[in-house]
Amino acid sequence: MGLLSSLHFKLAVLVTTTAAALAAAEAQTKPGCNYTCGNVSIPYPFGTSENCYRDEDLYFFLNCTTTISPSSGEATTQLFSEDVQVLNISLDPPELTVSGDVSKHCYGFNDDVSGNWMMFPNYSISNTKNRFTVVGCDTYAFVEDLNGTFTTGCVSSCSKETRFEEAGACSGVGCCQTSFPETIRDYNITLLSFKNYTKVRDFNPCGYAFIAKKGSFNFSKRELRDLSNRTEFPVVLDWAVPNQTCREAQKDARRYACKQNSTCKEPRSGIGYYCVCEDGFKGNPYLDTGCKDINECDGDNRCSRICHNVDGNYTCSCPWGYGGDGYKDRSGCKSPFKEISLGISVCFLVIFTLVSTLCWGNKQRALKQLKRQYFERNGGNYLLQLLHQQQGYIDRTKIFTEDELKIATNNFHESRILGHGGQGTVYKGILPDNSFVAIKKSRVGGDSRQVKDFINEVTVLSQVNHRNVVKLFGCCLETEVPLLVYEFVDNGTLFDRIDPLKNEHSLSWETRLRIAAETAGAISYLHSSASIPIIHRDIKSANILLDHNHMAKVSDFGASRLIPLDEAQVSTVVQGTLGYLDPEYLLTGQLNEKSDVYSFGVVLLELLTGKKPYEFLRLEQKNLATYFASSMKEGSLLEVIDKRVLNQKYVEQLQEVAFLARRCIRVHGEKRPTMKEVATELEGLIAMKRHSWVKGEDMMFEERECLLGHAAASTSAGYDGAYGNVSANTFATYDCIQKQMAFEIADGR
């Protein structure tokens, strides 16, 4: 439950964060318009459909395209301006990040010259955010605009023996970089080689040239070989509202792009203009009311004491009785009572000490009274009365104080937590005599009915004295929720011991069968031999503890119900664990002893198969009980048996336990056996294995042939450990047994 709660919390945080990010992106565009394309946010004035971009300028129209890969069938959504893929859009500064091609020239080309060109009619290439880069060992390249108004280039050379500088250096050895003029809208790259890479072809037979965003490429010796895998790099473009300067646009109110609380600026290229929110405002300046007031009082400001947020700005002031303007960099706030502050401080200190002492005494009395109230509300007086009436049991059940259990658990420190359950948290405790106990913080409520049920449970469990039931040592009732003190069982749960992911060496079949018999005997005792029958209601492998000898201990009676002798069943709110829950109880809400039988049947399935009772990711049926029943019906039982216990000498027991488990998980409770019958049958299987000579000549001929015939020679092969290989004779024997089991299933066994 703790892990599930943690997962729910993380999922809620992820959903909240994602929703906030989507809301922020949506606020940057017009209502009803797409605000993302793939992973790219699309702020207005850009848009992908009519009325979603700035109408006066088709320049801001972007094409959102979804393509499906013919090979994988996966869909990819991309954003394009003209024929160039857009990777990111920024309003301030006004920039587009697009995908630019890499020019490549390699040894063996018929032509000694290679290159490519790109054109951005509506944008200018940022000369401050990009660099022209050449990579190679016999390479030189130059870049020019298509009109031929500028040309710049770079030379790169090296050899196999060259000692390169630290990673990231691009200074002419294997790599060189240079800048280019601003306000260019297109470029053409020409890539050449001095000697066609003839001297370095075994080391670096290619040269590369490209324009890329600063920081997107870090040169290293490895790039000389691996750059052939890169075909694109990000390129930063400057954009602006075209056709008018900032001054011209301000005079044309109809076409002016900057809205309320914003102003225009001249771009670096000097072409057009762009909009920004005024100081004290933040948002999208191209949308009506897009620039919203920032509350400067929430962040760093110049106020010494009191900050007042105003539209687009803030003011400072001082508290009543102080002088000054309230600004840190001016006069600040000065107190007129500085001269008498020391005397007042001393007086306050004396008064505070006196009041603290009185409050501490009051708090101790209130705490003592509260503990008494908790004790009475949790039925402490009623419990003491019942324990005195039950002579012989009062010495077995102790009423612990809260302080005793706090000391035992180091004030319930999280390092002492043994686990979380549906009914509370279990802590490891150490009593003054150095004995270990398990202390459960119950989640039982405080109404009168729940208190009475809780007290009845404590009094009944104090009478339970069964070697396979966890002993209840006592309880604490002076806390808000009752605390139960149980014996400490040190070898974990059955669930953990049979999980193949947690234990490489699993329990043997003999141990599993013995644990099943001990558990069945304990549940049978609760149903039949306790003074008032007890239905556990949460039988599962996680509630079966194992001691150092792997003896089973049934635990966690927080969900248990007491069934009066004159009642066969009770109506109750459905409670249990997914996968173990009796379907008839789930449907009717009527709880009886057969509900525990169903849950125990699922535990038997876990022991047989090593699988969890319910797995969402299981390729077969998710519910283990349904999957097991269908496997038996189809005659494929051995396919679902845990390979770690499947062995020639156990197949008869495995078969009998499988039939018993199938009877326990029948949908109709009246068709299930009682726990007493289940315990008797399991004990019989163990006894039969100890005294196998009892069967003698009574074994049927078919079973003798399967078990002792041609399989006898292969018995010594068997399984080689928990994950060994089965011999051919063993497979033949299992096939024979499989057919015999299929015959018995069809015969209605």
Q: Among all residues, which ones are annotated catalytic?
A: 538
Nearest of 535, 539, 559 to residue 450 by alpha carbon: 559
Measured from the Cβ of residue 288, the count of other Cβ atoms closer than 10 Å reads: 9
The string of DSSP codes covering 294-342 is --GGGS--SBSSEEEEETTEEEEE--TT-BS-SBTTTT--B-TTGGGHH
> Measuring CA to CA, how many Å separate 492 from each of 8, 140, 265, 409?
26, 70, 70, 19
How far is 262 from 430, CA to CA, in rounded Å? Answer: 69
How far is 747 from 545, CA to CA, in rounded Å? Answer: 38
Secondary structure of residue 546 in the 3-state scheme: strand
The DSSP symbol for 571 reads: E
Beta carbons of 591 and 496 less than 8 angstroms apart: no
Strand partners of residue 729? none
Structure tokens at 225: 């070989």
Strand partners of residue 417? 427
Helices (H), 473-578: 494-498, 509-528
How far is 307 from 419, CA to CA, in rounded Å? Answer: 49
What's the length of the chain?
749
Beta carbons of 294 and 314 less than 8 angstroms apart: no
Asked whether the CA dihedral 366, 371, 375, 377 is positive or negative, the reply is positive
Angle between helices 624-633 and 651-664 (to 10 degrees): 120
Structure tokens at 626: 């349904």
- Distance between first and last Cα of the chain: 39
SS (H, E, C) 457-503: HHHHHHHCCCCCECCEEEEECCCCCCEEEEECCCCCEHHHHHCCCCC
Measured from the Cβ of residue 370, the count of other Cβ atoms closer than 10 Å reads: 14
Q: Look-up: residue for tokens 């990000």?
A: 234
> Measuring CA to CA, how many Å separate 738 from each of 284, 510, 665?
73, 21, 21
Secondary structure of residue 11 in the 3-state scheme: helix
The radius of gyration computed from the CA coordinates of the chain, to the nearest angstrom, equals 40
Q: Phi/psi of residue 328, each to 5°?
A: -60, -40
How far is 132 from 156, CA to CA, in rounded Å? Answer: 12
List the Cα angle 561/567/572 in 5-degree steps: 40
> Measuring CA to CA, how many Å separate 594 from each of 523, 524, 539, 672?
11, 11, 12, 7
Beta carbons of 564 and 558 less than 8 angstroms apart: no
> Measuring CA to CA, how many Å separate 542 from each of 238, 491, 498, 594, 664?
63, 12, 11, 20, 19
